[in-house]
Structure 1
Amino acid sequence: MIQLTDQQRQIVDHGRGPALVFAVAGAGKTTAMVHRVERLVREGVFAPGRILVSSFNKAAVEDIGRAMEPWPRCAAVARHTLHALGYKIVRDAARGGWMPRLAEGALKTGGEERQILWAARDLARRRGLVAADEYQTP
């Protein structure tokens, strides 16, 4: 088993709410995160099916999955890229009737779906949730 640093151990043992961690590449964030997830599952704080781990790219998510392999009890922990998670949320909302379905190719063909998407983008910009230069029109 991997020996954790004092800082990693603090993350794993953190007991009140989420643990927000800022660290440079290679500092052991993934290691601390998977050990924290394992502790939460082992101690029954959360069922594995109620936990989501996410990262920016597929390779990082795959690394997280490999790091969790020693703990079979964590196999049901959901792992997604942020993009895949966003797509799943939008797709499920459309299937549930909570928003209009976005037609395949809607971003290229225009129409009502594109107007809804860009209206949401503009609202996010006005509220300062994204920078003005993010999510440019293709």
Structure 2
Amino acid sequence: MTLAPPPPLSSLSAVRLRLLAQPAQGHMPRRIDGAWWPRSPDLTSELPSLLGGLPHAWGQVSSVLVDGAVWFPFPGRLLVADQVVRLRRTTTQHTPPTVCLLAPGRGRWDLLVVPPAATEAEAGRLMGSMDTAVKDSVGL
């Protein structure tokens, strides 16, 4: 298991995350729930900020599924805020790339991953094109 370094206090508010409004009860869930623009492909440094920036109502994410070819280093488990998060890698190509977050008893959320090397204009276009009903934008 890898220990994630605690994110700097300022980085929690600087996570580049945009979440869409949740569908009304009884409606089919969306395929993509939001977008995340990590600063680097280093999963051990990026994931703690992402998980710390999620809505409290999502509960504790215990499992994360990502494209293993994109992220490094890639430990099997990561300790984030005194909680073990299981990391799983997928070998299927996702177009567009996504990260899947699982919280037992709470649900599943799929986020579009904006490439870390994207320019602000590219990231803004990708994140803004998801939906006009944005629930939350943090650090953009």
TM-score (norm 2): 0.33
Instruction: Give the structure with the higher percent helix.
Output: 1
TM-score (norm 1): 0.33
Greater C-alpha radius of gyration? 1
Higher relative contact order (CA 8 A, sep 6+): 2
